[in-house]
Structure 1
Amino acid sequence: MTQSTKTKTDLDKKPIAISSDAFYFEKDKSQSILILGVGNFLMGDEGVGVHLIQEMDKLELPPYVDILDGGTGGFLLLNCFESYNKIIFVDATMDGKEEGTISLLRPKFASDFPSALSVHDVGLKDMIEAVYLMENQPDLYLFTISIEKVVPMTTELAPEVKKAIPKAIEQIISLSKTLREQIS
């Protein structure tokens, strides 16, 4: 079922993989948490954030959780930061840790984000700097999944990176529940 064929009742019951700007005007998101997967889907492990969002889209998620495939969006994602009070990013990192390691960071500045691996590096960090210039900044959380290499022109994930996705989703859902309790 596509978003355009869902009724308003359906929108209230199940989280949505956001795919259009119109969604931002359909629902009050002050009580919602956005899970934002970023990365380049065509660069192997570097796209793990996008793969994770695709897996979350198959699950029955709490109604206060929205998910978004942010791709390499950069400044195109700024309206998310105006709409949500709490945002959980998911991205790949080459931090020297064992492949598939999941880490949670609380970035306060763009420089707190780990070095990105492809073209979304400049856009993401610049966008985060712009967020900190906004009147109201959301609370940001960043889950990283450690990778060893970037392989251009493939959508395949390394086995350890792929195995990390369900574990990361479990941690994200747990954090979402905790954050939801803080909002209420």
Structure 2
Amino acid sequence: MSRQRQGILALGSHHGDDQIGWSLLEQLPPESVPEGVELEWINSPGLELFNCLQTYSKLLLVDAAEMGEKPGAARFYPTPSILTEAPERELSSHSLSLKQALELLQALQIQPPQLALYLIQPQMMQPMQPLSATLQARFPALLVDFNQRLNHYFAVQ
């Protein structure tokens, strides 16, 4: 199966800083999204994440992740080497983690997409709460950084 779709996938939930990926995609100026790149939001992914990984040929995933950094710190991983280096618990707060979804693709002999990760260190993930004051204060800088990273990522073939 030939996949030509490119996308940015925001993972999240309504739990405090876990919605940072959604917020970045929502506030991204439409003119800054490269032509042909689709935007997609997933709430508490499980098999939906697995399906997205099969759909796209090139994907940038944005999410809150416990990385042991200062709250609001962002890390860009142009290749998902972090998946083999970090413990499972540090990569996802969701039911089916990215690492598990990629392992499932491999077990089923399905080619994963070219993948990059943009991860933000959360401060708190309390149910049904807004972004923390720390991430709200960092949001403008995160949006600029995310925009620059995604444009560079999708410009490179």
Greater C-alpha radius of gyration: 1
Q: Hey, what's the Cα distance between the residues in 2 that align with 1:126 and 1:117?
A: 10
Q: After TM superposition, give the deviation of residue 180 of structure 1 in Å.
A: 3.4
Q: After TM superposition, give the deviation of residue 34 of structure 1 in Å.
A: 1.0
Query: Which blocks of at least 5 consecutive residues in structure 1 are unaligned?
Result: 1-27
TM-score (norm 2): 0.77
Among all aligned residue pairs of Structure 1 and Structure 2, give the percentage whose two residues are the same amino acid.
23
Distance 1:34 1:110, change over 3 A: farther
Query: Which blocks of at least 5 consecutive residues in structure 2 are unaligned?
Result: none
Q: Hey, what's the Cα distance between the residues in 1 that align with 2:8 and 2:128?
A: 25
The DSSP-based 3-state class of the residue aligned with 1:123 is coil
The DSSP-based 3-state class of the residue aligned with 2:110 is coil
TM-score (norm 1): 0.67
Distance 1:181 1:55, change over 3 A: closer
**Number of equivalent positions:** 150
Distance 1:46 1:176, change over 3 A: closer
Q: After TM superposition, give the deviation of residue 147 of structure 1 in Å.
A: 1.5
Q: What pairs up with 1:111-122 in 2 under 5 angstroms?
A: 112=86, 115-116=90-91, 118=93, 120=94, 122=95
- From 143, 149, 152, the equivalent of 2:127 is 152
Q: What pairs up with 1:28-43 in 2 under 5 angstroms?
A: 30=4, 32-40=5-13, 42-43=14-15
Q: What pairs up with 1:1-184 in 2 under 5 angstroms?
A: 30=4, 32-40=5-13, 42-56=14-28, 59-60=30-31, 61-105=33-77, 106-108=79-81, 109=83, 112=86, 115-116=90-91, 118=93, 120=94, 122-124=95-97, 125-133=99-107, 134-154=109-129, 156-183=130-157
Higher relative contact order (Cα pairs below 8 Å, separated by 6+ residues): 2
Q: After TM superposition, give the deviation of residue 54 of structure 1 in Å.
A: 2.1
**Per-residue CA distance 1:8-61 (angstroms, 9 max, x = gap):** xxxxxxxxxxxxxxxxxxxx961x431111121x211122122222223x6332
Q: After TM superposition, give the deviation of residue 110 of structure 1 in Å.
A: 6.4
Q: Could you say which residue in structure 2 is the equivalent of 1:17? A: none
Q: Hey, what's the Cα distance between the residues in 2 that align with 1:179 and 1:127?
A: 22
Backbone CA RMSD of aligned residues:
2.7
Q: Hey, what's the Cα distance between the residues in 2 that align with 1:34 and 1:159?
A: 29
